[in-house]
Structure 1
């Protein structure tokens, strides 16, 4: 139950009395003598109720009500009025005030109105939270495409971790989408409006690595002309994404560990420490602990980076996502070119499903673009050690079920008619493939 209350009144005796009544009843009370001070310190999405006198010097209660409702139309505001202000207060209620209390009022009257207002506020905030979660989930589904169980689990993990102030290690093969997942962890979290800085550790010569990461002062070394801000400092307040972290030189690993521990850094050639607040997301193909055991990576840094771990499955382990991803990339390429993507034939789809995709999503995107250009991107040489016939049939069946569910927006009867399946058989197949009707409902 919410219990936060703000009281705005220019009379010290009223403020003291109201604070005493509310505090004894278990409420958390914040007092202001001026409406301007209340506005300056009111947190966004304040989880409580504002109680304000009407007549005050400077900004009065009605002006405060107008400002508060402009910022948050659902914030309950209870007005305190003198006898001559009652008609004014009634008009204010028509303009959105939750209630008004005529002075002098009893503690019971105030507490009753306040509790009802807080109950309403709680419902509004919970409804807001559910809508925001649904919106985030919908946005993420269009960013991390796929309906396989592994992809659905990954999206849930991303939403959970995005809001947590912890470093994350992403493991996955080349081309599996590690940077896209890192970007989602940033974009769907509280640092979204701050910098997202990406650095590929394998692409930087070892002699330049320290300057790239920490920056330098003018004249710090030969050729260091002018001051340069490093990636760590540039990411201050936001997220630093370190791709192929296993390639970072051991000397720089020690310095990065110190930055993580102390939240401070020093540019090359400088003696002054700079405080930084950043989240580090690292990506790797090999197991960092195995790299540490082999002497190629610092074990203490591996633990610092791997507070939470996300594993991206290779495309060959989520074949049911291949048609959806291929269609997405082909359509995007066709739109860029101002043309229509040619449809996939049955044999072409089968070829997509049986290919091993060693380059993962990156390779698939390239094949889809070639297909959109009419360059035969689906004519892929199939590796001999592909999945078994049973696995291919399972993958194709799952894709047919998903296509029918999408086509009919989750209407089971229509799906049964399209696929010519009895209800029980359809339910069993949906359960086996981890398909849920609610994921396909038309929520527009």
Structure 2
């Protein structure tokens, strides 16, 4: 239950009396003598109610109401009025005020109105939260594409972790989308308006690694012309994505560990520490603890990075996503050149579904772009290791159903006609493959 209340009144005796009544009833009370002070310190999405006198010097209660309504029309405002201000207060309620109390008023009258206003505020904020979650989920579904159970679980994990202040380790094969997932963890969290700095540890020469991460002062080493801000300092307040973290030199691992532990760093050639607020997201293909046991990685750093772990399944383990991703990449490539990508023949779709995809999503995107540009497809092996014929046929059937449902917006009759299936057979196949028509229906 919300219990935050702001009281705005230029009369000290009224402020004191209201504060005593409300505090004794368990409310958290903040007092202001002037409306301008309230506006200056009012937090965004204030989870409570404003109680304000109407007649005040400077900005009065009606002007305060107007300003509050402009920022948040659902914020409850209770006005305190003198006898002569009642018609004015009634008009204010037509303009958005929640209630008005005529002075002198009893504590019971005030508490009753306040509790009702707080209940309303709680419902509004909960409704907003649900809408925001639905919006985030929709945006994430259009960013991390896929219908497989693995992708659905990954999206849930990303939404859960995005808002948490913890470091994350992403494990996955080359081309599986580790940077895209890292970007989602940043974009869907509270640091979204701060920098996202991506760094591939395998691409930086060891001699330049420290300067790249930590920056340097002028003259710190031969060729250090002027002061340079390092990647970690530049990302202050935001997120640093360290791809192929297993390639980081051991000497720099120790310095990174200190930054994580102390939230401070020093530029090369400097004696003064700089405070930084960072979230570290690291990505690796091998197991960092196995790398540590082999002496190639610091075990203490591995534990610091792996507060939470996300595993990205290779494309061969989520074949039901292949056609959807191929269609997306082909359409995007066609749009760039003003051309509609040609439809994919069934035989080629079967090849896509049975290929082993060692390059994962990156390889699939390349194949889709070549198709959209009319350049043909690269050589594709059609016999994935460890997958039986029946498994390949099941994957192909599931994808045909998914494509038809998507094409016809979940309209069952149209899908039945397109696939020439009776309703009962279609329902059984959809149930076996975990397909729901609601997931394919056109949304406004």
Q: Which residue of 2 aligns with 1:361?
A: 361
TM-aligned CA distance change 1:415 to 1:25, over 3 Å: farther
- Greater displacement, 29-38 / 234-243: 29-38
Helix, strand or coil at the partner of 1:147:
coil
Moved more, 382-391 or 231-240: 382-391
> Matched residues in 2 for 1:438 and 1:315: separation?
25
- Compute the displacement of 1:409 (Å): 3.8
Provide the secondary structure at the position in 1 that maps to 2:46.
coil
Give the 3 Å change call, closer, same or farther, for CA 186–82 of structure 1 in structure 2: same
SS of corresponding position for 2:189? coil
Q: Give 3-state SS (helix, strand or coil) of 1:322's partner.
A: helix
Shift of residue 413, structure 1, vs aligned partner: 6.0
Q: CA deviation at 1:110?
A: 1.0
Cα displacement string for residues 256-306 of structure 1 (whole angstroms, at most 9, x for unaligned residues): 000000000000000000000010000000000010111100010000000
Cα distance in 2 for partners of 1:392, 1:199 equals 38
Q: CA deviation at 1:21?
A: 1.3
**Alignment check: 8 A CA contact 2:167 2:306 kept:** yes
Give the distance between the partners of 1:267 and 1:351, measured in 2 at CA: 53
Instruction: Note the C-alpha offset of 1:414.
Output: 5.5
SS at match of 1:240: strand
Change (3 A) 1:239 1:416: same
1:393-429 CA distance string (max 9 Å, x none): 1111221232343344445566556556566655554
Give how far 1:443 is off: 3.7
Structure 1 gap ranges (5+): none
Aligned in 2, Cα 1:71/1:263: closer, same or farther, shift over 3 Å?
A: same
Residue 339 (structure 1) shift? 1.1
Mapped to 2, the partners of 1:360 and 1:54 lie a distance apart of 65
Contact 2:354 2:384 in 1 (8 A): no
Q: Secondary structure at the match of 1:80?
A: strand
Local SS of the residue matching 2:429: helix
Change (3 A) 1:405 1:342: closer
Q: Distance in 2 between matches of 1:100 and 1:411?
A: 53
The CA deviation at 1:379 is 5.0
Q: Deviations over 1:121-145 (max 9, x none)?
A: 1111111111111111111111111
Report the CA distance shift for 1:214/1:66 in structure 2 as closer, same or farther (over 3 A).
same
Of the structure 1 ranges 24-33 and 422-431, higher mean CA displacement relative to structure 2 is found in 422-431
Q: Closer, same or farther in 2 for the Cα pair 1:411/1:22, shift >3 Å?
A: farther
- Which piece of structure 1 moves more, 125-134 or 376-385? 376-385
Q: Spell out, residue by residue over 1:81-118, the C-alpha distance to the aligned partner (whole angstroms, 9 max, x if none).
A: 00111111111111111111110111111111111111
**Alpha-carbon spacing, 1:93–1:266, altered in 2? closer, same or farther (3 Å):** same
C-alpha distance 231-42 of structure 1, shift in aligned 2 (>3 A): same
What is the number of residues matched between the two proteins? 444
Superposed, 1:348-387 pairs within 5 Å as: 348-377=348-377, 379-383=379-383, 385=385, 387=387
2:22 corresponds to which residue? 22
| 3-state secondary structure, aligned to 2:341 | coil
Contact 1:371 1:378 survives alignment (8 Å) = no
Deviation at 1:384, TM superposition (A): 6.1
Assess, with a 3 A threshold, how the Cα gap between structure 1 residues 415 and 123 changes in structure 2: closer, same or farther: farther
Structure 1 contact 368–378 (Cα < 8 Å) conserved: no
Shift of 1:220: 0.3
Q: Is the 8 A contact 1:355 1:386 kept in 2?
A: no
Checking the alignment, whether the CA contact within 8 Å between 1:243 and 1:282 is kept in structure 2 is: yes
Task: Report if the CA contact (8 A) 1:9-1:32 is conserved.
Answer: yes
**Cα offsets for 1:290-336 (capped at 9, x unmatched):** 10111100010000000000000000001110101001111111111
Equivalent position SS for 1:326: helix
2:288 is matched with 288
Give the deviation of 1:27 after TM superposition.
1.3
CA RMSD of aligned residues (A): 1.6
Alignment deviations for residues 310-368 of structure 1 (CA, whole Å, 9 cap, x no partner): 00000000111010100111111111111111110010100100111100000000011
Q: Decide whether aligned partners of structure 1 residues 315 and 273 sit closer, same or farther in structure 2, where only a CA change above 3 A counts.
A: same
Pick closer, same or farther for the CA change 1:65–1:314 going to 2, 3 Å.
same
The residue that corresponds to 2:109 in the other structure is: 109
SS at 1:191 equivalent? coil
SS across alignment from 2:357 = coil
Which residue is 1:428 aligned to? 428
2: CA distance between counterparts of 1:229 and 1:433? 52
Greater mean alpha carbon deviation, residues 15-24 or residues 161-170: 15-24
Q: C-alpha distance in 2, partners of 1:189/1:232? A: 19
Rounded to whole Å, the distance in 1 between the matches of 2:374 and 2:334 is 10
Worse-superposed segment, 255-264 or 28-37: 28-37
